[in-house]
Chain A
C-alpha cells in the first residue's frame, strides 16, 4: 500500500511497523512531526508505544537506552543541536552497547531555516564510532527503520539516522509494509557499568566492531554504484543523490552514500576509474575531508572545501547542477518592489506584553542587558522590541545573566520560556541561588512548547514549586498575567525585582494564543 508521507512521518511509521516500543524526544524543528505522528497513530496507541514528550534530549536518550537495555526497540528523536544536549549519554551508549535496537535520529538543518547553527550529525556518529544511515528519500527513510533496528541489534550498537530539513519536511508516496511484533522484555545480562576497568574492555570491543561496520557499509543496499563514461567521479551523500539525478540523470559515474562508515573500497574503485572526485553532501564537508585522507594528497577531490559547491547553506538543485557543469540560471530577475518578511510574534501573544513592560522599565537603566533564550520569544530580538542581547543555546539566558552579574553587570535580566526552563534552565537557576547572584529571571510561561507548534510543556503548573524548591526566596517569586491592562502592575513588579539584590523570578503566565484558539475550536466541536 502506498501512503503520502512527510519524511518525518515515513520515519515514524517505519519505526512503528518495525516493532517500536518507545519514542523518546524533545520537540525541535525539523524533527517534531516524528513523535507527533507516533502519538496519534492508532497501532502505536493500541500497543501502548511510549511517546510522551521528554524534558530534554538527554533524558530522552537515557530513557531510550534503558528501553534498549530491557530488550525492546527504541527511537530517540531530536534536532541536530539536541545531539549536543544528549552527547554524554549518546557517546557512552556506544561503549555500553545496546540490547534492543536503538536508533538515534538527528534532524539537521543546513541553511538554518529554524536553528542557530548548521552542525552536521554525521560527525557525532564518527565521534562515537557507530554507523550512520542517511536516507536519500522518504521511501528509504521508511525502510531504514527496520533495517536500522536489525543492524543495531546485530552489531549491538546504537545507529544514528541523519536526515536534513528538505527530507524531514517533504512529502512523497511511500510503499508501506505490514507491522512487525514488538520485541519481548529480555533485559541485558551484560554489565553496563562504565567504571574505568570495565569501560576500557568495552572500548576495545567497540573498536573490534569497526571492521563489521565497514563491511556492512560495503555490502549495504543503500550504498549503490552507478556507472557511466564520465571522468569525474561523484560521491552523492543522502539527498544530494536526487540533485545529481535531476541534473544529469544516468550520465553520472557515482557512488551513492547512505550508510557510514564510508564504503572505502567502493570509493577507491571509483577513484581508480576517474581523474577526480566531486563530493556532494548536504551539511558540512564530512565526507570530503575523509576522502582526501583516504585517497592521499595527490588525488584531486572537489566539494565544499574547494569552492566547487558553496561552503555554507543547504544544497539546491541549482548549486549541484552548476558544480556538475550544467548551465542554470533565472529567466526573470528578482523583483524590484520587495522587502524581507521575517517571522514575528503573533498579535495578542503574551510575550509581546512582557517585552513591552520590560522595555519600559529598562529604559531607566541604560547599562542593562537582557539575555535571551530559545523559543518564540527569541523574536523579541527583532523590531519592534529589539530587547535581547543574546540567544545561544537552551537555558543559556539564566547562566549568562549570572556570569555577567558575577562580572558586575547591572541589571542582568534573563528571559526564558516555560519549556526551555525545564529543558535546561533549572540547573542554572540553582547555581544562581547558591551564589546569591544579582539577576532577574523572567519565565515567560505560555503553558506550551510554542515555537514547534504547541506540544505539552514538562513543567506546566509546577514553576512556582520548582523555583521555591531550588531555593529562590518566596517573596521574590512573582506571578503576573501579561495583558496590556496589567501594564502598571507588571512594570512595578519588574522594577521592584530588578532593584532587589539577589535572585528573583517573575513568571508572566498566559496561554499561547495559538493553543488557546485550538482548545476553543476543539471545545466547540
Chain B
C-alpha cells in the first residue's frame, strides 16, 4: 500500500508542520517515507509545496509523478489547483476554502470556487474553525484533521499521537490546543 500526498500553500502558512507530523506518524508506524520540501527563496510569500510519499514498500523517487498524487492537502484554494496535473484519477483535494490574496492578479474568487467544486474536493474555512475552537494559529491542524480520514495508510489515532509528540516540547497546553483543532477538522471532514 502507498499514499502519495502533495502538501501546498503559501510560504508561512505552516505546511511544513503538517509534513513533520505526518512524517513522525509514518516513522512510528514503521512505514517507508520520502518527503521533498521547498526551502529558501520560495518561502517568502510565494507558492510552496512538499511531496510526501508513504508506503509499506521501499520508495524510489523523492518526487511524485503526474497523475500520481492520491491526495492534495492545501492551505489555500488556488494553490490546491496549481498541482492538478499531479492528481490521480481517483485522487482527492482537501483544502482551505479561503483565498490568500497577496498578488494583484489573483483570479476571480467566485470562478475559482466554482472550478474547485467541479473537482473531487472538500473545502472548509479552516481559519474560522480554528478560531472557534480557541486556537487561531491552528488552522493547519484543522486541515490535517480534515485530511486524516483520506490518508488511510495512517489512522486518525496515529496522527493524534504524532501531534502530541511533535508539540510536546512546547507544553501540554499547546498539545491540547492542537489536538482540539485537529479533532474539529476530523469532525468537519
Residues in chain A within 8 A of chain B (CB atoms): 2, 4, 6, 29-30, 32-33, 113-114, 166-167, 169-173, 239, 242-243, 245-246, 316-318, 321, 328-346, 376, 379, 383, 451-453
Contacts and interface: CB of A to CB of B under 8 A. Distances in A.
Nearest to A239: B62
B3 interface: no
Contacts of B85: 330, 332-334
A171 B41 contact: no
Interface string B77-108: 01101101111110000000000001111111
B40 A338 contact: no
Nearest to A335: B81
A329 B63 CA distance: 15
Given A343-B11, A344-B102, A346-B45, A337 B84 contact: no
26 contacts: A4-B24, A4-B33, A33-B39, A113-B41, A114-B40, A166-B63, A169-B36, A170-B62, A171-B23, A171-B36, A246-B61, A317-B65, A321-B65, A328-B67, A331-B67, A331-B87, A333-B85, A334-B84, A336-B111, A336-B115, A338-B78, A341-B102, A342-B46, A343-B43, A344-B46, A453-B39
Interface of B: 10-11, 23-24, 27, 32-47, 51, 59-68, 78-79, 81-82, 84-89, 102-108, 111-112, 115, 119
A14 B39 CA distance: 22
A316 B65 contact: yes
A344 B42 CA distance: 8
A243 B67 CA distance: 15
Given A332-B87, A335-B78, 10 more contacts: A33-B39, A172-B34, A318-B66, A321-B65, A335-B81, A337-B107, A341-B45, A341-B102, A343-B43, A346-B45
Contact of A172 (B33, B40, B66): B33
B36 A170 contact: yes
Given A29-B39, A339-B103, A451-B41, A173 B62 contact: no
A328 B85 CA distance: 11
B41 to A, nearest CB: 4
Please provide the 7 A-B residue pairs with the shortest distance between their CB atoms, ordered closest to farther: A29-B40, A343-B46, A335-B81, A330-B85, A114-B40, A337-B107, A317-B65
A500 to B, nearest CB: 34
Contacts of B47: 340-341
Nearest to B106: A339
Nearest to B82: A338
A246 B63 CA distance: 10
A32 B67 CA distance: 32
Contacts of B33: 4, 171-173
A329 B79 CA distance: 20
A29 B41 contact: yes
B44 A343 contact: yes
A344 B47 CA distance: 10
Contacts of A29: 39-41
A3 B77 CA distance: 34
A337 B81 contact: yes
Contact of A451 (B40, B84, B112): B40
Contacts of A345: 44
A173 B55 CA distance: 13
Contacts of A334: 84-85
A32 B41 CA distance: 12
Contact of B41 (A114, A245, A329, A336): A114
Given A336-B115, A346-B45, A30 B63 contact: no
A317 B103 CA distance: 31
A334 B80 CA distance: 11
A330 B81 CA distance: 13
Nearest to B87: A332
A169 B38 contact: yes
Nearest to A332: B84
Nearest to B27: A4
Residue from B35, B62, B79, B106 having most chain A Cβ neighbours under 10 A? B62
Contacts of A337: 78, 81, 107-108, 111-112, 115
Contacts of A321: 65
Contacts of B119: 332
Contacts of B88: 331
A332 B83 CA distance: 9
Contacts of B10: 341
Contacts of B115: 335-337
Contact of B40 (A30, A331, A342, A383): A30
A113 B84 contact: no
Residue among B27, B51, B65, B66 facing the most chain A CB atoms (10 A cut-off): B65
Contacts of B87: 331-332
Nearest to A330: B85
B14 to A, nearest CB: 14
Contacts of A245: 60-61
Contacts of A452: 40
Nearest to B65: A317
Contacts of B46: 341-344
B62 A242 contact: yes
Contacts of A333: 84-85
Contacts of A317: 61, 63-65, 68
Given A328-B66, A335-B81, A335-B82, A343 B38 contact: no
A169 B39 contact: yes
B178 to A, nearest CB: 17
B84 A329 contact: no
A375 to B, nearest CB: 10
